Amino acid sequence: MLSTFHEDDDINPESREHMKPSVITFYNLTKGAVDVVDRMKAEYSVTRVSNRWPLTIFCTLLNIAGINSQIIYFSNTNNKILRRLYLTDLAKQLSKPHIIRRSKVTSLSIPLRQKIKNILGHEASAPTTAEQQGEVKPRCFFCPKRKNRFTKYCCDTCTKPICKEHTAKTVLTCTDCFNRDEDS
């Protein structure tokens, strides 16, 4: 037996006739949390039968993340909520931005629009005429006109349209604003 907590191989006197090492009795006393997590994972699981190990690991991580997030939610709010209801609400909140973005697609079928309306609880906003016509993208502020480089990105600081060549870091900042921030 290897343990970083126990340094000797003494026998636990409380184990009586079984003569168990203290490492084993300590493990048996503290392993309850693993059993509880395994039971909670099995009760509501996102795991699918798969031969691909990355998918299996990903699903296991999702199950554990759901348990951990519920524990954090409870400790922050002291609001005890059923696991099923919590996971349902979590899934809705995580998928809501995608559903709203998807509702702006003009070519959605009527049944799908109805499902989106039921999920969101209100009518999805109709796309504007500019969105329907494929809104014209602005040219990069820094590129010469002959490059004719259109972009959908803009600087977070000054809102100038910028291409990827003129961005700094992962935050969309034009090179002028980035250099100005570094100087100050």
Residue 135 pLDDT: 64
The pLDDT value recorded for residue 130 is 45
- What percent of the chain has pLDDT above 70? 88
Euclidean distance between CA atoms 64 and 38, whole angstroms: 9
Model confidence, pTM:
0.52
Could you tell me which residues come within 8 angstroms of residue 101 by beta carbon, excluding any fewer than 6 positions away?
none
Distances, alpha carbon 52 to alpha carbons 64, 66, 81, in Å: 19, 22, 34
* Torsion, Cα of 139, 140, 145, 148 (10° steps): -60
Q: In this structure, what DSSP letter does residue 21 have?
A: B
pLDDT digits (tens, 9 = 90+) for 2-53: 778 777 777 777 766 677 887 888 887 888 888 888 888 888 888 888 999 9
Amino acid 90: pLDDT = 92
Query: Residue 178 corresponds to which tokens in the numbers above?
Result: 């980035």
Q: What is the DSSP string of 103-157?
A: HT-TT--HHHHHHHHHHHSSPPPPPPHHHHTT-PPPBPSSS-GGG--B-S-B-TT
Say which residue the tokens 């400790």 belong to: 75
Specify whether the backbone of 174 is left (phi greater than 0), alpha (psi in -120 to 50) or beta: beta
Per-residue b or e along 11-38, where b marks 16 or more CB atoms closer than 10 Å to that residue's CB: eeeeeeeeebbbbbbeeeeeeeeeeeee
- Calculate the CA dihedral of residues 4, 9, 15, 18 and round it to 10 degrees: 120
For the chain, give the mean pLDDT.
82
The confidence score (pLDDT) of residue 123 equals: 64
pLDDT more than 90, % of the chain: 22
Q: What average pLDDT does range 118-135 have in this prediction?
A: 61
Binned at pLDDT 50, 70 and 90, residue 168 comes out as: confident
Q: Decide: helix, strand or coil at residue 161.
A: strand
pLDDT digits (tens, 9 = 90+) for 55-105: 999 999 999 999 999 999 999 999 999 999 999 999 989 999 898 888 888
